[in-house]
Amino acid sequence: MPGAARVFVWLLQVATGALIGAMAGGRGGALAGVLLVLVALLLIEGRRAARLLAWLHDPAGKPPVGDPLWQEFNLMLSRQRRQHAAELARLEAEVGRFEAAGQAIPDGVVALDPDLRIRWVNRLGARHFRLDPRSDRGNLLTHLVRDPQFSAFMTRGDFAEPLLLHPTHQPGLALQVFVVEFGDAQRLIVSRDVSDREQVERMRRDFVANVSHELRTPITVVSGFVETLAELDPDEATAALANVLPLLQKQMKRMQSLVADLLTLARLESTPEPPPMKPVDLPALLTGMVADARAVNGDLHPIHCAADPGLDLRGTPGEIRSIAGNLLNNALRYSPEGSRVEVTWQRATDARGQVVGVLAVRDEGPGIAAEHLPRLTERFYRVDSGRSRDTGGTGLGLAIVKHALTRHGGHLEIESEVGRGSEFRAVFPAERLVSNPTGP
């Protein structure tokens, strides 16, 4: 054993010193020899210990090499240091994996200590609460999130129900905040973005309110006429029917149009993928629609149609008809009498140099102010609601056009200038175009 051998060597060295001292000066010399050997041993071992301590403070180099006893110390300390370094690396890797998993969570996460100080936050949590993951660590969360509703929620301590929070720094953002308590009074705050859910709920409420509003007028008119006729004598009621029936028919037709458009829009929204498509003879379709419009409108609007006879469109016939019909009807409905309406269908090149098919309807109506253009395809949105109702519009035509175009890979472009008319363009991608060499 290195320890026992080292002790034996020490005793041998002391005995040798005592013997040499005794030979030189008797008993006093022996004692002096022992002291000298002990002092020398202390100096040597102290130097070795100092070198070992210096290496422990700065282990960058190789460990000091000494006699077997100190070498054993070196080996034991080196082994423990390697084990400690391996364990530290393992723990750091575990922490790294934990942080990576926390960053991948699709919700915001903020870990708090019992004093509500931030211990860790992922990127989404930092964005939700406007925090800095590094500089804000250790600070009180309630001092950084200055929202009275949030502060009251955290102070109250009742976390059975989540908090619905609308941060002021991000308009339109809605957060559902959960608090999970764990460990020794520690807390985990989980924030979930429910903005889309709120928007859908708001759209649902607006939709119900708009439908109710649209139906209220015709129902009120029909109900009023029916009640009036019911109060008249049979002869008076019969005489009044000649004047009342056209008005009733108009209101009933308006309700039928609204219901039909609602059903069409619901079908388009509920089936994201269109049914199997086939080539549609769009020039023939437009020619027929324009002829029907001329028959209905008479001489109110000169309608000019120019369609490339050799260009068909691959799509769903009913939806293509709905796109063209809504665009043409809008132009006729909102244009003054005698104004010209143009319908064109042709190949064109878009801003990126791609070949597209463009179905354009141009009118000479009053035009639309720029601030209204982004919202024209919203359901029930009207630039002039009173005029739209007077002309029989339901407010759903352009919403139907937008959804039908999306199902065909296309989009709607609108150009308008107040006082100079508007142009609505249904743009279809090149893969929807079909050359028709048999066209006239």
Whether residue 266 has pLDDT greater than 80: no
In angstroms, the CA 205 to CA 197 distance is 12
In angstroms, the CA 320 to CA 307 distance is 15
pLDDT at 235: 79
More confident residue, 18 or 430: 430
pLDDT at 385: 54
- Parse the chain into domains and list their residue ranges: 2-98, 105-193, 200-269, 273-435
CB 231 within 8 A of CB 223: no
Instruction: Report pTM.
Output: 0.55
Q: Which CATH architecture has domain 200-269?
A: Orthogonal Bundle (1.10)
For the ranges 51-65, 90-104, 282-296, 374-388, the maximum mean pLDDT occurs at 282-296
Whether residue 331 has pLDDT greater than 70: yes
Banded pLDDT at 1 (limits 50, 70, 90): very low
Whether residue 287 has pLDDT greater than 50: yes
More confident residue, 336 or 393: 336
pLDDT at 64: 60
Banded pLDDT at 281 (limits 50, 70, 90): very high
pLDDT in tens, 178-235: 998 887 778 889 999 988 888 777 777 777 777 777 777 778 878 887 888 788 888 7
Q: Does domain 273-435 have CATH number 3.30.565.10?
A: yes
Whether residue 48 has pLDDT greater than 80: no
CB 357 within 8 A of CB 433: yes
Whether residue 246 has pLDDT greater than 80: yes
Amino acid identity for residue 173 in this structure: L
Residue 364: closest CA among 422, 325, 428: 422
* Averaged pLDDT score across all residues of the chain: 80
- DSSP labels for 327-362? HHHHHHHSSPTT--EEEEEEEEE-TTS-EEEEEEEE
Look up residue 160 and give its two tokens.
């059975």
Across 150-158, average pLDDT: 86
Quote the percentage of the chain above a pLDDT of 90.
Answer: 16
More confident residue, 64 or 230: 230
* Lowest mean pLDDT across 95-104, 166-175, 365-374: 95-104
Whether residue 3 has pLDDT greater than 80: no
Domain 105-193 classification at class level? alpha beta
CB 189 within 8 A of CB 177: yes
